[in-house]
Structure 1
Amino acid sequence: MEMRSPWLALLALLSLFQLALAQTEIDGVTYVTANIDGENVLVRDNRQPSLYTGDFGDCMGDSSINVTRFDAAFYKDNMTVLFHLTGDTSIVSEGLMMYIAVYAYGESQFELIFNPCNANINSLCPVQSNVSIEANGVIPVGQSDVQNIPSLAYTIPDFEGQAILRIFANSTQQMIGCYSAVITNGSSFSHPYAVGSVLGVFAFVALVASFATAIYGSDVPAMRKHYAHSMSVFVVFAVLQHIFFTGALSMNWPSVLVAFWSNYAWAGGMIYTESMQNSINNFIGSNKGNTTAVGAASAGSDNSNLGGGYDISLIYRRAIKKTVKKAAMHLWRKDIHDHYSPRLERALAKRQLANSTDGYSWYGNPVKPGLPLPGNYSGFAGTLAQEDIPASNAFMTGFLWYLILLVLVAASVVAFKWLVEGLARVKVIKQERLAYFRSHWLGFTAFAVLRMLFIGFFAMVFLTLFQFTYEGAAGVVAVAAIVFIIFLCGMFGVAAYACYYRVRVGDYISEPDRLNLERRRILGCIPWYRFSRASATSDDTEKVYAGSLPFWRVSHRNPETQKSVHEDEQYTKKFGWLASRFRRTRWWFFACWLFYEFIRACFLAGASGHPMVQVFGLLVVEFLAFVAIIIMRPFESQRLNAMMVYLLGFSKVATVALSAAFDVRFNIARITTTVIGIVIIVIQGILTIFLLVAILVGAASSWMSVKRHRETEQFKPHSWRNWRDKYFAHMDKAMKDLPPEPPAPAIPPSEHEQPKEPYFNVSSVRRVAKIEDEDPDFQADIGTDPRGSEMSLQGNLRTSEDGTPTPAGRKRAPSIMSQMSYTSLPRTARVHRASWSSRDFLDMGYDPEIAPPMPTGSPAGHSRANSLGHSRVNSHRQSRASSLGRPRATSVGRAKSIDRLSRMGTPTGIPQLPQLNTQISEQGEEADYFQSPDAITPVKQHGYPAGRSSMS
């Protein structure tokens, strides 16, 4: 024992020096030893900790110790916890016990109970009223102390942690101080300066594009048409405000959601400036309202159960057990500790105090009055806390920024007018450029301001109703009441007058009608009901309905002369800022939208502090509105319908439905709620991306609109020309707002319908004998050329005096009536042989694909002389080609052939006859056909029977 005591004393001495000797200073920079990947290295002492605290607040309300700085940091690389504590107290002298608890996602992860006298905190040992509290400490921790902290906590954005410091008086064992600080790892979804600025730039682009289409041109209906298809600033702010004001539900939000929504706070008018908040605080005074009433844990009030509360007996029992264990050490070890410890602790304390402000910036500040406790993100107050704006200042902050926006919009329109005038004076632009806008600039300015009032209706009504619920100073409530009356009565009054003006001036009448409840099935099997107007189904008198209700309908007095609302130039000039973007048959949608936004504001603001009423009431409203807007599809532009009807509507319904899981009564684990929060971020993030894309597309379409008077060849960029034509055609079609044409009814196939594709092949064709084959005159007209239509009845052929066969001819003298062909066959018909087969052509060596050449020296035409002595030369090459070689009887005399010509029909499927090259000569009253001996022998044109002419 005696031999080991020096070594044990040295070991104890070195252990006391361990923390003091762990720091190294190089070139004025303090380094500490850290273990990274199993290797000891020097790292900066002012490096960013793995986990550290941010802003802190009083969780007791009347703490006897006033803490002005409270921060702690955990360094994973060297497994140490660093904390700082400064403040003052009015207690004369008191021994203290301190209890630090660290929570992550609602679960206790680390607890530390210590006596300040044993931890080198001299200013708290004991605490005295005339001594300022300044405490710094570096506490080594083991792996077992932090084993419950998952590795994901060091990297996940917006780590949800909380550090609670409780101070107890040893004499009474009562809590005399409580402070809570939020814990973070430095990663966050909150980037208002970056993300918010980008969103602001895109919103400005949408504003400029919309304004450009509104002022360009001189034809009001055309200006309205192009304005209706530009990107709407109303839709942009509807999307952004939906995302931010989701945080108005009185739910215990996960930290990731509140951080994400802070990027959209500017769209709701929640922009923090120190000077404005100080002015509002002076106006409000000390009455900050009741943050607890809107569902948030207020700083400076009693929150003793924070973090699940505490057990004072357990705390002191553990402290006493720790003290007894130390007292049971060996006597020699206790002597060494008592001898060296005070001197080393004092030296260590002095060193830490001297370097406590050197470069360390990872600490928060006390929360301002009216803000909830750090780490509590309940309700709209918790959402606003991310912006350092107290809930009591919300209405005045939004109202002041809204007034600034109205002034900026009006001043911008006026400034642009005079800028255009100046450019026209110096002849930078043409004198007639934007002439309509320059002559009506006062009206455009007024309508721009009115449009901004319409866009900001929901935000201002919500903020006024929230102020009524939150109460607060009487002056603020009075201002909120005035603003509420102006917006409610003013906007609904203008909307009602716009509808009344259209109905009266547009010659509309109101007639009684009925709503019929009709049974139907959806998806083929689910029973369902739908309403239909009796006037729309008046033709169907046999349909049976489940019930009906009295209703009315507004219709035009004379539908034939009805003028569209967008063709009414006077109405567009008066109320175009309300109705121009909506379809011809949905021009009244602005009134429905105002009513819908008012109901939303009532649930979000009027029911603050009642989460179940808020979430389920709002869910019903959003679902009904989603279905109704899908049915109406109010916007004339397809992009706006896609954004406002489908994407925004789905996001609202899904967000409210998922938000129900954040109510504290469901007691869902915070890890699970964080996952649900990330799902909401994904939904709203996708909505934001689609909005940005729509703004870019809208900017491109607005460029096409303001360049609509340029010819297509002059429009730039060239690659957009086809899109420009299609875009203009789409606008013209959408402006008519006509239902799509019904598809043509399918014609049922006939029972005897022939197949569309051939179902047989023709291999050979054969002609059999017919009745006319027994006619002697017919048989005589067909030659006996073996290549022609040869007959088996050779006895019917006529012969000449020398015995050679001759064509049959008439023996009567020619007359005027006989000058014309009187064949009984049509002009393009052919005389057939009695019996033939397609094989006969193969036996003669004919190739149907090759036509015989034209004989040399054959004349290309023929001369014709009629009975009056007139002669004419006609070309007949084309006629031969078109009639497959058949000569036409064009002479007034009877045609006689001097040679035989093979004639036959061309039924479907037989080989094509060779082209005939014929020389035709007509002289006098008779015409003969001549052709080369090498060509096919011609046959005489068959004439009419005696006593009949073609003119009869």
Structure 2
Amino acid sequence: MARFPFSTPWTAAFISSLAIINTIIPSARAAELETIQGLNTKGEQHTLLVDRYPALYTGDFGDCMGGQSLINLTSFDAAYYADNMTVLFNLAGTTNLRNESLMLHISVEAYGEDRFNLLWNPCNANFASLCPLNSSVPIVGRASIPVSGSDVSNIPSIALAIPDFEGSAVLRVFSNATETQIACFKAVMRNGASFSHPTAVGSVLGIFTVVAVVASFATAIYGVSVPEIRTHYSHSLSVLVIFEVFQSIFFSGALSLNWPSALTAFWSNFAWSAGQIYTDSITNTLNSFTGVTGNGSQVGGAGSTPLNTNGGLQQQIYGRSLDYLPGLLLDRRSEEIASKLYKRAASNETHDARMYAWAGLPVSPGLPVPGNWSGFAGELAMMGIPAANAFMTGLIWLLILIVILVGATAALKWTLEAFSAIKWIKNDRLALFRSHWLNFIGLIVLRTMFIAFFMMTTLSLYQFSYGGKAGPIAIAVVVFVAFFAGILGVAFYACFYRVKFGSYESSPDRIHFQQKKILGFIPWYTTVRESKMEESDKPKSGASISFFKLDFVGNDPENQGIHDNIDYTKHFGWLSARYRRTRWWFFAFWVVYQFVRACFIGGARASPSAQVFGIFVWEIIAFGAIIKINPFEGARNTALAVYMLGISKVATAGFSIAFLPTLNVARILATVFGIIIIVIQGFLVIGVLILIALGAISSYMSLTRNREEFKPHRLENIRLKYFGHIAQKATDLPPPPAPPAPEEPEQPKGPYFNVNSVRRAPKIEDEDDDLVPGMERPHDPRDSQFSLPPRVRANSVANSMRSVHSGFGNVPYGARVHRASWSSKEFQSWQQDELNRADSPLGVGSRHTSGHNTTNNSISIAPLVRSSPSHSNLRPTTPTEEQLKQTADQRLPRAK
């Protein structure tokens, strides 16, 4: 018997594994296909999967009595299945009470209103572990409650589909002996749709940000000439502006307002940009340092406090008036529903904290009760970070980022050296970076701290207003002083360095306020320096204030522009390199602007009204000032930092006023305002991603500026235009005027008068179709061969008459004198003129005489020369030179 060639112990193990898999797969498929039958709200029966997700279900839950509940819960789940009209309820926990009869009340809140309420006695619903409550018996209860359409009619249909449904389920436990509330637990309600996807969205945004960082860094180290490097670097997309976009979106939620759940969910996607990244190790380590304590596996405070017999819901449950009792305690519908509660099979009972895939967990210590999205604490709760840990978490991740950047820069330097040693790259490739890499590391650290200035200042001020243990506050003081004194000091020293060593002088000046109108009807004032005003505009100016101006008086042509000063660029290019030649000082303005924002957002936490209105007014002022200054040299940075970001900040601050607690705006309307803010900020983010892609392309063009061949070839013209654009922008001068169109060469002078055609206006005589009676000469039979119709002949004779000048005064050519009557003498004179014309060289007639009497005159209409086309001129056109040559022989006989 032949043996199988692969018969080895590994083969046997593989065959055994296949057998096990074949056994598991059918059972898994059977579990996947496990179904039940259910009726929906329309009464239609459907086949439903057992492990399906509900339409609404609870998430994480917490103690709504501030940790004073006398029951500890490890599981609290409630769900509403719309496909079979069922409410699922699950409860698990412990207590230190020895013997206590209870009443349970569960309610569902949605958008600030109660949508579902149910009160029942656990003893009537087969909750043996709660009837009575005993410390020796673990609390376990799971039930499925069938409901009718009227029970859930208050739940809007949009709640089942809208992202980040704003609702919560509240379980209250009352003691019949003391008639008080002894426990309260609250869980947030969800429907599965959300704007919060920090892992996916944060990863995509992080990848784009890394691309922008690499593109910016590459343009900063490539090249030999420092001014040329700065020119190309200034047109790459600023990493400072990118982080400012993401941080401005995230820190919008740091205002002490009652935010909609949709907004906090959307803002959680940008938490990484502010250093708010959750990890179990960092959070658990910081909890003990910041004073956050508690048990993350359960909620409640069983045994920590005695029963409170003087408060709670004593008046709400046991002391209500008889008018309200029928609506709560004596509600027969509630008792009917409670009587249908049934206990799950014993085989399904377990002490597992999570019985379902959708079930929530107890909130971590230091987090607010679920369903509360107010202020910065509510926003941080979306990431699971306690508000007390916000400052320390941001500081730790900032230090981690600096270490990563320093390590990556050093690794790049030594990698280039290794490639140069093995001849993979040329020896002079990136020589400036390789020889000054330590200086580059120092500038990278300074630039990173400059970008993080707003973030760390805001978190430090928030830590001061929040309080806490002495350790975090002491570190916050050190960090605040380091950033405030360090960044502001360096910024103002950079300005002083330029003024002190740049040969500047100051002179008096005035600022005039001129009135104008915005959009054609809104009154506004603009400021103009007197030194830049026209003489004609000075009398029209309004109020003015004294000021001064700085003028550069240096004589060194290489240092006339700040960007041409190599020494200044090496020391402070990380501050001024991206700004225009005349706006190099904008970094100082930016630091002051960000510091004031941080004071409002982080420091004014206790006063929401001052915080919101202050930041709104400040953003409007800053937006107008930045537009007026127009600091950035690159067009993409201008579009993003000046306009897109400015409009987003002003609009967000304006809509945030609607969330003030004093205004008490309805939650549905507040959600609408929140969606508007999400749309505005969403368009801003999309614009950032597009500009990052375009910036990467332009940076690639900058890195290939020394190559003669560029790929792809279809972008070659765009590349040349881009180089011309950045060269012109570096001068910070208006673009030169377009060159005038080339003049056409002057034509040689000569005869220039030429009449091609003349349009003849109608005359009075044109209305007379026939000649005056008696003027038509008699018909000659000898002219029959050239005869024409009488009307045509009459017109021909009339035209010949009009061709000669009339003898009656100043009558124009071709005009006929109208007389009331004709004499015979005048008629004979006319005949004699006709006979004379017949004797002319151009005449066509012949005379036949007998003796001295003229017997007959005949005029032939046959021409002596070739006929030419008729003209519409009043006068015959001047004959050309060729025509004169052709008729020269005809004129000779007359000359004789």
The letter of the residue matching 1:724 is: R
- Choose the corresponding residue for 1:54, options 59, 65, 78: 59
- Choose the corresponding residue for 2:45, options 40, 45, 51: 40
Structure 1: how far apart are the matches of 2:105 and 2:879?
A: 111
1:34-82 Cα deviation digits (max 9, x unpaired): 2357543442322111100001111112111112211111111111111
- Choose the corresponding residue for 1:502, options 483, 491, 498: 498
Verify: 1:163 aligned to 2:163, yes or no: no
User: What are the residue-to-residue correspondences of 1:540-939 with 2, within 5 Å?
Assistant: 540=536, 543-557=539-553, 563-711=560-708, 714-740=709-735, 762-763=757-758
The answer for unaligned runs of 5 or more in structure 2 is: 1-26, 295-300, 741-752, 761-803, 805-839, 842-862, 871-876, 890-896
Corresponding position of 1:313? 319
1:511 to partner: Cα distance: 2.1
1:512 to partner: Cα distance: 2.4
1:120 to partner: Cα distance: 1.4
Structure 2: how far apart are the matches of 1:143 and 1:735?
A: 71
Structure 1: how far apart are the matches of 2:574 and 2:674?
A: 37
- Going from structure 1 to structure 2, the CA distance change for 1:46 and 1:524 (only over 3 Å counts) comes to closer
**How many residue pairs were aligned?**
734
- Choose the corresponding residue for 1:407, options 396, 399, 403: 403
1:513 to partner: Cα distance: 2.1
Contact 2:163-2:194 within 8 A present in 1 as well: yes
SS state of the match for residue 321, structure 1?
coil
Corresponding position of 1:889? none
- Going from structure 1 to structure 2, the CA distance change for 1:635 and 1:407 (only over 3 Å counts) comes to same
SS state of the match for residue 258, structure 2?
coil
Contact 1:520-1:528 within 8 A present in 2 as well: yes
- Going from structure 1 to structure 2, the CA distance change for 1:844 and 1:687 (only over 3 Å counts) comes to same
- Going from structure 1 to structure 2, the CA distance change for 1:436 and 1:320 (only over 3 Å counts) comes to closer
SS state of the match for residue 682, structure 2?
helix
The answer for unaligned runs of 5 or more in structure 1 is: 1-23, 289-297, 328-336, 746-757, 769-792, 795-839, 848-908, 917-932, 938-952
Contact 2:163-2:262 within 8 A present in 1 as well: yes
- Choose the corresponding residue for 1:462, options 452, 458, 464: 458
Contact 1:59-1:179 within 8 A present in 2 as well: yes
Structure 2: how far apart are the matches of 1:156 and 1:324?
A: 30
The letter of the residue matching 1:50 is: A
- Choose the corresponding residue for 1:259, options 265, 273, 276: 265
Verify: 1:95 aligned to 2:101, yes or no: yes
The letter of the residue matching 2:574 is: W
1:660-702 Cα deviation digits (max 9, x unpaired): 1111221211111111111111100000000000000000000
Corresponding position of 2:69? 63
- TM-score, normalised via structure 2 length: 0.76
Structure 1: how far apart are the matches of 2:622 and 2:311?
A: 41
Structure 1: how far apart are the matches of 2:759 and 2:195?
A: 85
1:289-322 Cα deviation digits (max 9, x unpaired): xxxxxxxxx9x999x9999x95553487667535
1:212-237 Cα deviation digits (max 9, x unpaired): 11111101111000000011111110
Corresponding position of 2:431? 435
SS state of the match for residue 510, structure 1?
strand
The letter of the residue matching 2:533 is: T
User: What are the residue-to-residue correspondences of 1:187-206 with 2, within 5 Å?
Assistant: 187-206=193-212
Corresponding position of 2:13? none
1:350 to partner: Cα distance: 3.0
1:480 to partner: Cα distance: 0.5
1:282 to partner: Cα distance: 2.3
Structure 1: how far apart are the matches of 2:700 and 2:329?
A: 79
Contact 2:413-2:434 within 8 A present in 1 as well: yes
- Going from structure 1 to structure 2, the CA distance change for 1:324 and 1:627 (only over 3 Å counts) comes to closer
Contact 1:120-1:349 within 8 A present in 2 as well: no
The higher relative CO (CA closer than 8 Å, separation ≥ 6) is in 2
Contact 1:34-1:43 within 8 A present in 2 as well: yes
Contact 2:627-2:643 within 8 A present in 1 as well: yes
Contact 1:136-1:349 within 8 A present in 2 as well: no
1:237-270 Cα deviation digits (max 9, x unpaired): 0111111110011111111111111111101110
The letter of the residue matching 1:45 is: V
1:724-748 Cα deviation digits (max 9, x unpaired): 0111111111111113568999xxx
SS state of the match for residue 563, structure 2?
coil
Corresponding position of 2:187? 181
SS state of the match for residue 250, structure 1?
coil
RMSD value, Cα: 4.0
Corresponding position of 2:158? 152
Structure 2: how far apart are the matches of 1:325 and 1:555?
A: 84
Structure 1: how far apart are the matches of 2:355 and 2:521?
A: 71
1:32 to partner: Cα distance: 2.9
The letter of the residue matching 1:409 is: L
SS state of the match for residue 93, structure 1?
coil
Once structures 1 and 2 are overlaid, which stretch shifts more, 312-321 or 173-182? Answer: 312-321
Corresponding position of 2:120? 114
User: What are the residue-to-residue correspondences of 1:340-355 with 2, within 5 Å?
Assistant: 348=344, 350=346, 353=349
1:800-852 Cα deviation digits (max 9, x unpaired): xxxxxxxxxxxxxxxxxxxxxxxxxxxxxxxxxxxxxxxx99958799xxxxx
Percentage of pairs with the same residue: 49
Contact 1:619-1:653 within 8 A present in 2 as well: yes
Contact 1:46-1:359 within 8 A present in 2 as well: no
1:869-916 Cα deviation digits (max 9, x unpaired): xxxxxxxxxxxxxxxxxxxxxxxxxxxxxxxxxxxxxxxx98986799
Corresponding position of 1:388? 384
Structure 1: how far apart are the matches of 2:582 and 2:229?
A: 19
Corresponding position of 1:801? none
SS state of the match for residue 566, structure 1?
helix
Corresponding position of 2:218? 212
Structure 2: how far apart are the matches of 1:258 and 1:418?
A: 44
Corresponding position of 1:126? 132
- Going from structure 1 to structure 2, the CA distance change for 1:173 and 1:414 (only over 3 Å counts) comes to same
The letter of the residue matching 1:386 is: M
Corresponding position of 1:803? none
Contact 1:251-1:379 within 8 A present in 2 as well: yes
1:285 to partner: Cα distance: 2.9
1:520 to partner: Cα distance: 4.0
SS state of the match for residue 564, structure 2?
coil
Structure 1: how far apart are the matches of 2:429 and 2:333?
A: 93
1:462 to partner: Cα distance: 0.5
Contact 1:136-1:352 within 8 A present in 2 as well: no
Corresponding position of 1:480? 476
Contact 1:66-1:89 within 8 A present in 2 as well: yes
Structure 2: how far apart are the matches of 1:149 and 1:455?
A: 47
